[in-house]
Structure 1
Amino acid sequence: MREANRIVSTILDELAENVKPGVSTMLFEDICRSMCDQYGVRPAFLGYQGFPFALCCSVNEEIVHGFPSKERILNEGDIVSVDMGVVYEGFYGDSARTFAVGAVSDEAKKLMDVTRESLYKGIEKAVPGNNLYDISAAIQSYVEGFGFGIVRRFVGHGIGSHLHEKPEIPNFVPKGMPGVPLKAGMVLAIEPMVTVGSHEVEVLEDKWTAVTKDRKLSAHFEHTIAITSDGPMILSLSD
Protein backbone atom coordinates (compact mmCIF):
# COMPACT_ATOMS: atom_id res chain seq x y z
CA MET A 1 0.00 0.00 0.00
CA ARG A 2 2.94 2.33 0.60
CA GLU A 3 4.07 1.78 -2.99
CA ALA A 4 0.57 2.22 -4.43
CA ASN A 5 0.21 5.50 -2.58
CA ARG A 6 3.74 6.65 -3.44
CA ILE A 7 2.87 6.25 -7.11
CA VAL A 8 -0.35 8.23 -6.67
CA SER A 9 1.54 11.04 -4.97
CA THR A 10 4.22 11.06 -7.67
CA ILE A 11 1.52 11.41 -10.34
CA LEU A 12 -0.11 14.26 -8.39
CA ASP A 13 3.31 15.95 -8.21
CA GLU A 14 3.52 15.81 -12.00
CA LEU A 15 -0.01 17.13 -12.40
CA ALA A 16 0.84 20.04 -10.11
CA GLU A 17 3.63 21.04 -12.50
CA ASN A 18 1.09 21.25 -15.33
CA VAL A 19 -1.63 23.32 -13.63
CA LYS A 20 -1.65 26.69 -15.36
CA PRO A 21 -4.06 29.01 -17.16
CA GLY A 22 -4.94 27.92 -20.68
CA VAL A 23 -4.65 24.14 -20.27
CA SER A 24 -7.61 21.80 -20.56
CA THR A 25 -8.42 19.46 -17.70
CA MET A 26 -8.12 16.52 -20.12
CA LEU A 27 -4.35 17.10 -19.99
CA PHE A 28 -4.39 15.74 -16.43
CA GLU A 29 -6.23 12.60 -17.55
CA ASP A 30 -3.68 12.04 -20.31
CA ILE A 31 -0.75 12.46 -17.92
CA CYS A 32 -2.37 10.18 -15.36
CA ARG A 33 -2.97 7.37 -17.84
CA SER A 34 0.51 7.68 -19.30
CA MET A 35 2.16 7.52 -15.87
CA CYS A 36 0.01 4.56 -14.82
CA ASP A 37 1.30 2.74 -17.90
CA GLN A 38 4.84 3.81 -17.01
CA TYR A 39 4.54 2.39 -13.48
CA GLY A 40 2.61 -0.70 -14.57
CA VAL A 41 -0.39 0.07 -12.36
CA ARG A 42 -4.11 0.23 -13.02
CA PRO A 43 -6.08 3.47 -12.54
CA ALA A 44 -8.35 2.71 -9.60
CA PHE A 45 -11.25 4.94 -10.65
CA LEU A 46 -11.48 4.00 -14.33
CA GLY A 47 -14.63 1.91 -14.70
CA TYR A 48 -15.36 1.97 -10.95
CA GLN A 49 -19.15 1.82 -10.71
CA GLY A 50 -19.14 3.08 -14.28
CA PHE A 51 -16.89 6.13 -13.76
CA PRO A 52 -15.45 6.87 -17.23
CA PHE A 53 -12.08 8.43 -16.36
CA ALA A 54 -8.85 7.65 -14.51
CA LEU A 55 -9.14 10.69 -12.26
CA CYS A 56 -11.70 13.12 -10.87
CA CYS A 57 -11.07 16.74 -11.87
CA SER A 58 -13.30 19.29 -10.15
CA VAL A 59 -13.06 23.04 -10.80
CA ASN A 60 -14.20 25.86 -8.49
CA GLU A 61 -17.73 25.01 -7.23
CA GLU A 62 -17.29 21.36 -8.25
CA ILE A 63 -16.63 19.37 -5.09
CA VAL A 64 -15.69 15.91 -6.34
CA HIS A 65 -16.21 13.39 -9.18
CA GLY A 66 -15.84 16.02 -11.91
CA PHE A 67 -15.01 14.82 -15.44
CA PRO A 68 -11.82 15.92 -17.18
CA SER A 69 -12.66 17.55 -20.52
CA LYS A 70 -10.93 18.97 -23.59
CA GLU A 71 -13.49 21.79 -23.49
CA ARG A 72 -12.84 22.79 -19.87
CA ILE A 73 -10.00 25.29 -20.05
CA LEU A 74 -8.51 26.52 -16.79
CA ASN A 75 -8.48 30.27 -16.21
CA GLU A 76 -6.35 32.46 -13.98
CA GLY A 77 -7.91 32.46 -10.50
CA ASP A 78 -9.57 29.05 -10.76
CA ILE A 79 -8.93 26.30 -8.25
CA VAL A 80 -8.93 22.67 -9.39
CA SER A 81 -9.24 19.58 -7.21
CA VAL A 82 -7.74 16.32 -8.49
CA ASP A 83 -8.59 13.00 -6.85
CA MET A 84 -7.02 9.78 -8.11
CA GLY A 85 -5.99 6.29 -7.15
CA VAL A 86 -4.11 3.28 -8.47
CA VAL A 87 -4.04 -0.46 -7.90
CA TYR A 88 -0.59 -1.95 -7.29
CA GLU A 89 -0.28 -5.71 -6.77
CA GLY A 90 -3.88 -5.92 -5.59
CA PHE A 91 -3.78 -2.97 -3.17
CA TYR A 92 -5.14 0.54 -3.55
CA GLY A 93 -3.66 3.99 -3.19
CA ASP A 94 -5.87 7.10 -3.03
CA SER A 95 -5.09 10.80 -2.60
CA ALA A 96 -6.41 14.23 -3.58
CA ARG A 97 -5.13 17.79 -3.75
CA THR A 98 -6.54 21.18 -4.72
CA PHE A 99 -4.33 23.41 -6.86
CA ALA A 100 -4.40 27.15 -7.53
CA VAL A 101 -4.45 28.16 -11.19
CA GLY A 102 -2.12 31.14 -11.31
CA ALA A 103 -2.93 33.89 -8.83
CA VAL A 104 -6.12 33.20 -6.88
CA SER A 105 -8.26 35.31 -4.56
CA ASP A 106 -7.48 35.59 -0.86
CA GLU A 107 -10.71 33.70 -0.18
CA ALA A 108 -9.68 30.80 -2.42
CA LYS A 109 -6.21 30.66 -0.87
CA LYS A 110 -7.67 30.65 2.64
CA LEU A 111 -10.10 27.88 1.69
CA MET A 112 -7.30 25.72 0.33
CA ASP A 113 -5.04 26.37 3.33
CA VAL A 114 -7.77 25.57 5.87
CA THR A 115 -8.84 22.42 4.03
CA ARG A 116 -5.26 21.14 3.81
CA GLU A 117 -4.53 21.94 7.45
CA SER A 118 -7.79 20.32 8.60
CA LEU A 119 -6.62 17.09 6.98
CA TYR A 120 -3.47 17.14 9.11
CA LYS A 121 -5.50 17.99 12.22
CA GLY A 122 -7.52 14.84 11.54
CA ILE A 123 -4.45 12.72 10.86
CA GLU A 124 -2.96 13.73 14.23
CA LYS A 125 -5.90 11.98 15.93
CA ALA A 126 -5.42 8.70 14.04
CA VAL A 127 -3.73 6.86 16.90
CA PRO A 128 -4.53 3.56 18.63
CA GLY A 129 -6.96 4.03 21.50
CA ASN A 130 -8.72 7.02 19.97
CA ASN A 131 -12.19 6.89 18.47
CA LEU A 132 -12.85 7.35 14.76
CA TYR A 133 -14.88 10.45 15.56
CA ASP A 134 -11.84 12.05 17.19
CA ILE A 135 -10.61 12.44 13.60
CA SER A 136 -13.99 13.85 12.55
CA ALA A 137 -14.15 16.29 15.47
CA ALA A 138 -10.65 17.63 14.83
CA ILE A 139 -11.49 18.36 11.19
CA GLN A 140 -14.90 19.85 11.96
CA SER A 141 -13.76 22.15 14.74
CA TYR A 142 -10.84 23.48 12.70
CA VAL A 143 -12.89 24.12 9.54
CA GLU A 144 -15.89 25.65 11.27
CA GLY A 145 -13.58 27.87 13.30
CA PHE A 146 -12.88 29.72 10.05
CA GLY A 147 -16.56 29.92 9.11
CA PHE A 148 -16.32 27.41 6.27
CA GLY A 149 -18.77 24.59 5.53
CA ILE A 150 -18.07 20.84 5.61
CA VAL A 151 -19.57 18.60 2.96
CA ARG A 152 -21.59 15.84 4.60
CA ARG A 153 -22.68 13.82 1.59
CA PHE A 154 -19.19 12.51 0.84
CA VAL A 155 -16.82 11.08 3.45
CA GLY A 156 -13.51 9.29 3.84
CA HIS A 157 -13.19 5.53 4.05
CA GLY A 158 -11.15 2.52 4.90
CA ILE A 159 -8.95 1.27 2.07
CA GLY A 160 -6.92 -1.83 1.30
CA SER A 161 -7.62 -4.59 -1.22
CA HIS A 162 -10.75 -2.62 -2.14
CA LEU A 163 -11.03 1.09 -2.88
CA HIS A 164 -13.81 1.71 -0.37
CA GLU A 165 -13.84 -0.35 2.80
CA LYS A 166 -15.33 0.13 6.24
CA PRO A 167 -15.33 2.30 8.24
CA GLU A 168 -16.69 5.47 6.70
CA ILE A 169 -14.85 8.55 8.01
CA PRO A 170 -17.08 11.65 8.15
CA ASN A 171 -15.48 15.07 8.41
CA PHE A 172 -18.07 16.00 11.03
CA VAL A 173 -19.34 14.19 14.12
CA PRO A 174 -22.67 12.46 13.40
CA LYS A 175 -25.23 12.82 16.15
CA GLY A 176 -26.23 9.78 18.16
CA MET A 177 -23.85 7.33 16.49
CA PRO A 178 -21.08 5.38 18.25
CA GLY A 179 -17.65 5.73 16.77
CA VAL A 180 -15.22 2.93 15.91
CA PRO A 181 -12.17 2.31 18.13
CA LEU A 182 -8.94 2.97 16.23
CA LYS A 183 -6.40 0.14 16.21
CA ALA A 184 -2.89 -0.33 14.85
CA GLY A 185 -3.03 -1.88 11.39
CA MET A 186 -6.03 0.08 10.14
CA VAL A 187 -5.53 2.01 6.89
CA LEU A 188 -7.77 5.01 6.27
CA ALA A 189 -8.33 7.50 3.46
CA ILE A 190 -9.12 10.79 5.21
CA GLU A 191 -10.52 13.45 2.88
CA PRO A 192 -12.10 16.70 4.03
CA MET A 193 -14.17 18.54 1.40
CA VAL A 194 -14.72 22.12 2.49
CA THR A 195 -16.85 24.93 1.08
CA VAL A 196 -16.88 28.72 1.31
CA GLY A 197 -20.66 28.66 1.80
CA SER A 198 -23.28 26.01 2.50
CA HIS A 199 -22.41 22.32 2.80
CA GLU A 200 -25.39 21.41 0.62
CA VAL A 201 -24.63 19.49 -2.57
CA GLU A 202 -26.17 18.95 -6.00
CA VAL A 203 -25.20 16.25 -8.50
CA LEU A 204 -25.23 17.38 -12.14
CA GLU A 205 -26.94 15.67 -15.07
CA ASP A 206 -23.87 13.51 -15.78
CA LYS A 207 -24.85 11.75 -12.51
CA TRP A 208 -21.30 12.11 -11.17
CA THR A 209 -20.14 15.72 -10.82
CA ALA A 210 -21.05 17.04 -7.36
CA VAL A 211 -21.25 20.83 -6.97
CA THR A 212 -22.04 23.17 -4.12
CA LYS A 213 -25.73 24.05 -4.20
CA ASP A 214 -24.92 27.75 -3.77
CA ARG A 215 -22.17 27.46 -6.42
CA LYS A 216 -19.49 28.77 -4.06
CA LEU A 217 -15.93 27.44 -4.04
CA SER A 218 -14.98 24.03 -2.68
CA ALA A 219 -11.59 22.44 -1.90
CA HIS A 220 -10.58 18.82 -1.32
CA PHE A 221 -7.46 17.23 0.17
CA GLU A 222 -6.91 13.53 0.93
CA HIS A 223 -4.18 11.29 2.30
CA THR A 224 -4.15 7.56 2.84
CA ILE A 225 -2.68 6.84 6.27
CA ALA A 226 -1.79 3.77 8.28
CA ILE A 227 -2.41 3.67 12.03
CA THR A 228 0.64 2.25 13.80
CA SER A 229 1.68 1.80 17.41
CA ASP A 230 4.05 4.75 16.83
CA GLY A 231 1.31 7.00 15.50
CA PRO A 232 -0.13 7.78 12.07
CA MET A 233 1.99 7.09 8.97
CA ILE A 234 1.10 9.02 5.81
CA LEU A 235 1.42 6.55 2.94
CA SER A 236 0.54 8.95 0.10
CA LEU A 237 3.83 10.83 0.02
CA SER A 238 6.22 10.85 -2.94
CA ASP A 239 9.96 10.44 -2.51
Structure 2
Amino acid sequence: MISVTLSYFLGTPKKTLNKDYKGNDSQIGSAEVLSFSFAKISRATDDFSIDNKLGEGGFGPVYKGVLEEGQEIAVKRLSNSSQQGLVVFENEVICIAKLQHRNLVKLLGYCIQGVHKMLIYEYMPNKSLDSFLFDESKKSLLDWPQRFHIIHGIARGLLYLHQDSRLKVVHRDLKAGNILLDHQMRPKISDFGLARIFKEDEGEANTKRVVGTLGYISPEYAMKGLFSVKSDISVLGF
Protein backbone atom coordinates (compact mmCIF):
# COMPACT_ATOMS: atom_id res chain seq x y z
CA MET A 1 0.00 0.00 0.00
CA ILE A 2 1.28 3.42 -0.82
CA SER A 3 -0.27 6.42 0.91
CA VAL A 4 -0.60 9.08 -1.74
CA THR A 5 -0.36 12.57 -0.30
CA LEU A 6 -2.24 14.62 -2.85
CA SER A 7 -4.28 16.84 -1.63
CA TYR A 8 -13.64 22.72 -18.40
CA PHE A 9 -15.18 23.18 -21.62
CA LEU A 10 -16.03 26.87 -21.14
CA GLY A 11 -19.14 27.80 -23.05
CA THR A 12 -21.40 30.81 -23.20
CA PRO A 13 -23.14 31.13 -19.84
CA LYS A 14 -26.91 31.20 -19.87
CA LYS A 15 -28.09 33.30 -16.95
CA THR A 16 -31.84 32.70 -17.27
CA LEU A 17 -32.87 29.63 -15.30
CA ASN A 18 -36.19 27.86 -15.17
CA LYS A 19 -38.58 29.64 -12.82
CA ASP A 20 -39.18 26.39 -10.91
CA TYR A 21 -35.55 26.22 -9.78
CA LYS A 22 -35.28 26.74 -6.01
CA GLY A 23 -31.52 27.03 -5.66
CA ASN A 24 -29.00 29.85 -5.91
CA ASP A 25 -29.83 31.09 -9.40
CA SER A 26 -27.52 34.12 -9.26
CA GLN A 27 -24.43 31.98 -8.74
CA ILE A 28 -25.46 29.07 -10.96
CA GLY A 29 -26.40 31.48 -13.74
CA SER A 30 -22.98 33.11 -13.63
CA ALA A 31 -21.17 29.81 -14.09
CA GLU A 32 -19.18 29.74 -17.33
CA VAL A 33 -20.65 26.51 -18.66
CA LEU A 34 -23.33 25.66 -21.18
CA SER A 35 -26.97 25.19 -20.30
CA PHE A 36 -28.50 22.15 -22.05
CA SER A 37 -32.19 21.57 -22.64
CA PHE A 38 -33.87 18.55 -21.09
CA ALA A 39 -35.03 17.42 -24.54
CA LYS A 40 -31.44 17.33 -25.83
CA ILE A 41 -30.18 15.28 -22.88
CA SER A 42 -33.18 12.96 -23.09
CA ARG A 43 -32.41 12.24 -26.74
CA ALA A 44 -28.72 11.73 -25.98
CA THR A 45 -29.47 9.10 -23.33
CA ASP A 46 -32.32 7.41 -25.26
CA ASP A 47 -34.80 8.78 -22.72
CA PHE A 48 -32.57 7.68 -19.83
CA SER A 49 -32.63 4.07 -20.91
CA ILE A 50 -31.65 1.46 -18.35
CA ASP A 51 -29.14 0.19 -20.91
CA ASN A 52 -27.33 3.53 -20.66
CA LYS A 53 -27.23 3.63 -16.87
CA LEU A 54 -23.64 3.68 -15.60
CA GLY A 55 -24.38 3.58 -11.90
CA GLU A 56 -25.97 5.42 -8.99
CA GLY A 57 -24.64 7.38 -6.04
CA GLY A 58 -25.96 9.65 -3.31
CA PHE A 59 -26.52 12.38 -5.88
CA GLY A 60 -28.65 10.19 -8.14
CA PRO A 61 -28.28 7.97 -11.23
CA VAL A 62 -25.57 8.47 -13.86
CA TYR A 63 -26.19 7.77 -17.55
CA LYS A 64 -24.07 7.54 -20.66
CA GLY A 65 -25.23 9.60 -23.62
CA VAL A 66 -24.22 10.67 -27.11
CA LEU A 67 -24.98 14.20 -28.30
CA GLU A 68 -26.29 14.79 -31.81
CA GLU A 69 -22.85 15.93 -32.90
CA GLY A 70 -21.38 12.60 -31.77
CA GLN A 71 -19.75 13.58 -28.48
CA GLU A 72 -20.06 11.02 -25.68
CA ILE A 73 -21.21 12.39 -22.33
CA ALA A 74 -21.93 11.26 -18.79
CA VAL A 75 -25.09 12.66 -17.21
CA LYS A 76 -25.53 12.89 -13.43
CA ARG A 77 -29.24 13.26 -12.75
CA LEU A 78 -30.23 14.73 -9.39
CA SER A 79 -32.72 12.57 -7.54
CA ASN A 80 -35.92 14.50 -6.79
CA SER A 81 -35.86 13.21 -3.22
CA SER A 82 -32.34 14.46 -2.51
CA GLN A 83 -32.37 17.84 -0.78
CA GLN A 84 -28.66 17.56 0.01
CA GLY A 85 -28.15 16.77 -3.66
CA LEU A 86 -29.32 20.26 -4.58
CA VAL A 87 -26.55 21.79 -2.46
CA VAL A 88 -24.03 19.42 -4.07
CA PHE A 89 -25.39 20.33 -7.51
CA GLU A 90 -24.92 24.07 -6.93
CA ASN A 91 -21.49 23.65 -5.40
CA GLU A 92 -20.23 21.46 -8.23
CA VAL A 93 -21.32 23.87 -10.97
CA ILE A 94 -20.00 26.96 -9.18
CA CYS A 95 -16.69 25.31 -8.24
CA ILE A 96 -15.69 23.17 -11.20
CA ALA A 97 -16.78 25.71 -13.85
CA LYS A 98 -13.86 27.88 -12.76
CA LEU A 99 -11.29 25.08 -12.96
CA GLN A 100 -9.54 23.62 -15.98
CA HIS A 101 -6.76 21.03 -15.89
CA ARG A 102 -6.00 17.80 -17.74
CA ASN A 103 -6.30 15.86 -14.49
CA LEU A 104 -9.72 17.23 -13.53
CA VAL A 105 -12.90 15.90 -15.10
CA LYS A 106 -14.42 18.37 -17.55
CA LEU A 107 -17.87 19.75 -16.81
CA LEU A 108 -19.56 20.41 -20.15
CA GLY A 109 -22.69 21.98 -18.74
CA TYR A 110 -25.85 21.57 -16.76
CA CYS A 111 -29.60 21.23 -17.26
CA ILE A 112 -32.26 22.82 -15.08
CA GLN A 113 -35.79 22.43 -16.35
CA GLY A 114 -38.77 22.05 -14.01
CA VAL A 115 -37.98 19.22 -11.60
CA HIS A 116 -35.11 18.02 -13.78
CA LYS A 117 -31.60 18.96 -12.65
CA MET A 118 -28.55 17.40 -14.27
CA LEU A 119 -24.80 17.82 -14.65
CA ILE A 120 -23.19 16.91 -17.97
CA TYR A 121 -19.57 15.74 -18.10
CA GLU A 122 -17.13 14.34 -20.61
CA TYR A 123 -17.46 10.56 -20.73
CA MET A 124 -14.66 8.52 -19.17
CA PRO A 125 -14.56 5.12 -20.97
CA ASN A 126 -12.44 3.36 -18.34
CA LYS A 127 -14.76 4.40 -15.52
CA SER A 128 -13.33 4.90 -12.02
CA LEU A 129 -10.07 3.78 -10.46
CA ASP A 130 -11.82 1.59 -7.90
CA SER A 131 -13.27 -0.54 -10.70
CA PHE A 132 -9.67 -1.67 -11.35
CA LEU A 133 -8.23 -1.72 -7.85
CA PHE A 134 -11.00 -3.80 -6.30
CA ASP A 135 -11.63 -6.19 -9.18
CA GLU A 136 -9.36 -9.22 -9.21
CA SER A 137 -9.69 -9.67 -12.97
CA LYS A 138 -8.72 -6.05 -13.71
CA LYS A 139 -6.22 -5.43 -10.92
CA SER A 140 -3.46 -7.22 -12.80
CA LEU A 141 -3.82 -4.77 -15.70
CA LEU A 142 -2.29 -2.07 -13.53
CA ASP A 143 1.43 -2.75 -13.64
CA TRP A 144 3.79 -0.48 -11.73
CA PRO A 145 4.47 2.00 -14.59
CA GLN A 146 0.70 2.37 -15.07
CA ARG A 147 0.13 2.85 -11.35
CA PHE A 148 2.87 5.47 -11.19
CA HIS A 149 1.30 7.26 -14.16
CA ILE A 150 -2.03 7.41 -12.29
CA ILE A 151 -0.44 8.51 -9.00
CA HIS A 152 1.47 11.25 -10.80
CA GLY A 153 -1.65 12.50 -12.56
CA ILE A 154 -3.65 12.67 -9.32
CA ALA A 155 -0.81 14.58 -7.66
CA ARG A 156 -0.69 17.08 -10.54
CA GLY A 157 -4.44 17.61 -10.32
CA LEU A 158 -4.32 18.24 -6.59
CA LEU A 159 -1.34 20.57 -6.87
CA TYR A 160 -3.42 22.60 -9.32
CA LEU A 161 -6.40 22.67 -6.94
CA HIS A 162 -4.30 23.65 -3.94
CA GLN A 163 -1.78 26.06 -5.45
CA ASP A 164 -1.99 26.81 -9.16
CA SER A 165 -5.66 27.41 -10.02
CA ARG A 166 -7.61 30.65 -9.82
CA LEU A 167 -9.22 29.20 -6.70
CA LYS A 168 -7.74 27.40 -3.70
CA VAL A 169 -9.86 24.26 -3.47
CA VAL A 170 -10.01 21.44 -0.93
CA HIS A 171 -11.78 18.44 -2.45
CA ARG A 172 -12.84 16.79 0.86
CA ASP A 173 -13.88 13.46 -0.69
CA LEU A 174 -10.84 12.13 -2.52
CA LYS A 175 -11.07 8.37 -3.04
CA ALA A 176 -10.58 5.82 -5.79
CA GLY A 177 -14.25 6.03 -6.77
CA ASN A 178 -13.84 9.74 -7.51
CA ILE A 179 -10.82 9.24 -9.79
CA LEU A 180 -12.02 8.67 -13.35
CA LEU A 181 -9.87 7.21 -16.14
CA ASP A 182 -9.97 8.34 -19.78
CA HIS A 183 -9.19 6.22 -22.85
CA GLN A 184 -5.45 6.65 -22.16
CA MET A 185 -5.88 5.67 -18.49
CA ARG A 186 -5.15 9.27 -17.56
CA PRO A 187 -6.67 10.01 -14.11
CA LYS A 188 -9.16 12.83 -13.66
CA ILE A 189 -10.41 13.98 -10.28
CA SER A 190 -14.21 14.20 -10.19
CA ASP A 191 -17.16 14.92 -7.86
CA PHE A 192 -16.61 18.42 -6.51
CA GLY A 193 -19.98 18.62 -4.77
CA LEU A 194 -18.35 18.59 -1.32
CA ALA A 195 -15.38 20.78 -2.27
CA ARG A 196 -14.61 23.92 -0.30
CA ILE A 197 -13.14 27.07 -1.82
CA PHE A 198 -10.58 28.75 0.44
CA LYS A 199 -9.50 32.37 0.48
CA GLU A 200 -5.93 32.89 -0.72
CA ASP A 201 -4.66 33.56 2.80
CA GLU A 202 -6.84 30.95 4.49
CA GLY A 203 -4.96 27.96 5.88
CA GLU A 204 -7.68 25.84 7.43
CA ALA A 205 -11.36 25.88 8.28
CA ASN A 206 -13.70 24.27 10.78
CA THR A 207 -17.11 22.71 10.28
CA LYS A 208 -19.65 21.10 12.58
CA ARG A 209 -20.93 18.87 9.75
CA VAL A 210 -18.26 16.44 8.58
CA VAL A 211 -18.77 15.30 4.97
CA GLY A 212 -16.95 12.80 2.81
CA THR A 213 -16.39 9.05 3.03
CA LEU A 214 -15.29 7.44 6.28
CA GLY A 215 -11.97 5.71 5.82
CA TYR A 216 -10.77 8.39 3.41
CA ILE A 217 -11.01 11.51 5.55
CA SER A 218 -8.26 12.69 7.89
CA PRO A 219 -8.50 12.02 11.66
CA GLU A 220 -8.52 15.72 12.60
CA TYR A 221 -11.39 16.30 10.20
CA ALA A 222 -13.39 13.27 11.35
CA MET A 223 -12.97 14.03 15.06
CA LYS A 224 -12.74 17.83 15.21
CA GLY A 225 -14.10 19.11 11.91
CA LEU A 226 -10.77 20.74 11.01
CA PHE A 227 -9.77 20.58 7.36
CA SER A 228 -7.19 22.12 5.03
CA VAL A 229 -5.30 21.18 1.88
CA LYS A 230 -3.56 18.59 4.07
CA SER A 231 -6.91 16.85 4.46
CA ASP A 232 -6.85 15.72 0.84
CA ILE A 233 -4.86 12.62 1.76
CA SER A 234 -6.11 9.28 0.61
CA VAL A 235 -4.97 5.67 0.70
CA LEU A 236 -6.06 4.72 -2.80
CA GLY A 237 -5.15 1.06 -2.55
CA PHE A 238 -1.93 1.02 -4.57
TM-score range (shorter-chain normalised) is under 0.3
**So what's the TM-score if we normalise by structure 1?**
0.27
Greater C-alpha radius of gyration: 2
